[in-house]
Amino acid sequence: MAILSAFANPHRFMALSKALLPWLGVSAAVLIAYSIWQGLYVLPPETYQGDSARIMIVHVPAAWLSMSAYMGMALASLVWFVWRHEIADVAAKSIAAFGAGYTAICLATGAIWGKPTWGTWFQWDDARMVSVLVLFFVYVGYIALRAAMDTRQKAARAGAILAMVGAINVPIIKFSVDIWASLHQDASVIRLDGPAMSADYLVPLLLGALGHTLLFTALVLVAMRAEVRLRRADALLMRRMVGA
């Protein structure tokens, strides 16, 4: 708990994030540039899917971030709900926006990938696609709820309740979607996990995933810093209005 309280101090957060941001940004840019260069120019076409498989360099990191961002958001909500550390709420709010963004990227790249390989933009038989679509709506509901609340404190509290109840529900939703998709397996879906992915792709993919995770962290930190400044400015304005 001592660690949590240490990070809950906004001044320490601002100092730490300021020091971290350049490192995060540069390493993210290098890793993402490397993975895209490998994916587009260096790697041979994939054995079964040809050139279209190159999109996985972006698609797989986006899929990984869409899910882990929700976990991060729910965790930050729990920390806020229990200890009322303001920074935890700032984190949950900032993560939601970029989590929804990466979920949208995952859906869009999945559709672009699905068209040449499966012959369709969206495949309802595929449990992963449908799960990510539902997850997108969970993010949208969270953002809309926060936006509808008239005070920041209420937005934090309502958002935390929704994120935590959602975290309990997401495994159930995932399980039901998996069962549902397994009923329609007769459709000629090319399973990704069927033929083993060629090993050439693994290293750029992992480095790309690391790069996007660092980029995500950097973006969230920038948004959090802006939010902390906004709240501080509001507090100063309030103090001036009161006349103290």
Partner 1 sequence: MSAAPIRAAFVQAFREAWAGGAGVLLPASFFAGAAMLVPFAVGSDSAQLAAIGGGVLWVALALASLVTMERLFQADLEDGALDLWVQADAPLSAIAAAKVAAHWLVSGLPLALLSPLLGLMLQMEPDRLPSAMLAYGIGGLAFFLWGAFGAALSATVRRGGLLIALIALPFYVPTAIFGAMSLQAEVPLPLIETLFLSAATLFSLAVAPFGIAAALRLAAD
Shortest reach from residue 236's CB to partner 1, in Å: 25
Question: Tokens 């930050």, residue?
Answer: 76
Taking the C-alpha atoms of residue 63 and residue 58, their distance in angstroms, rounded to an integer, is 9
- Which lies closer to partner 1 via its Cβ, residue 147 or residue 199? 147
- Which lies closer to partner 1 via its Cβ, residue 133 or residue 197? 133
Shortest reach from residue 142's CB to partner 1, in Å: 8
- Which lies closer to partner 1 via its Cβ, residue 5 or residue 182? 182
Shortest reach from residue 134's CB to partner 1, in Å: 5
Taking the C-alpha atoms of residue 159 and residue 152, their distance in angstroms, rounded to an integer, is 10
- Which lies closer to partner 1 via its Cβ, residue 150 or residue 186? 150
- How many Cβ atoms are within 10 Å of 38's Cβ, its own excluded? 19
- Which lies closer to partner 1 via its Cβ, residue 134 or residue 192? 134
Q: Which residues sit opposite 153 in a β-bridge? A: none
Query: In the chain, where does DSSP find H-type helix?
Result: 2-8, 10-37, 56-83, 86-118, 127-148, 152-182, 202-242
Token pair of 63 as six digits:
């899929």
- Which lies closer to partner 1 via its Cβ, residue 26 or residue 179? 179
Inter-residue long-range contacts of 170-179, CB under 8 Å, 24+ positions, other chains counted: 170/70, 170/135, 170/138, 173/131, 173/134, 174/131, 177/127, 177/130, 177/131, 177/134, 178/127, 178/131
Shortest reach from residue 30's CB to partner 1, in Å: 37
Closest CA to 92 of 113, 109, 74: 74
Side-chain-side CA neighbours of residue 55 (13 Å): 18
- Which lies closer to partner 1 via its Cβ, residue 34 or residue 136? 136
Shortest reach from residue 50's CB to partner 1, in Å: 34
Shortest reach from residue 230's CB to partner 1, in Å: 22
Which spans of this chain sit near partner 1 (rule: CB under 8 A)?
134, 137-138, 140-141, 144-145, 148-150, 154, 157-158, 161-162, 165-166, 168-169, 172-173, 175-177, 179-180, 183
Shortest reach from residue 137's CB to partner 1, in Å: 5
Closest CA to 109 of 48, 46, 56: 56
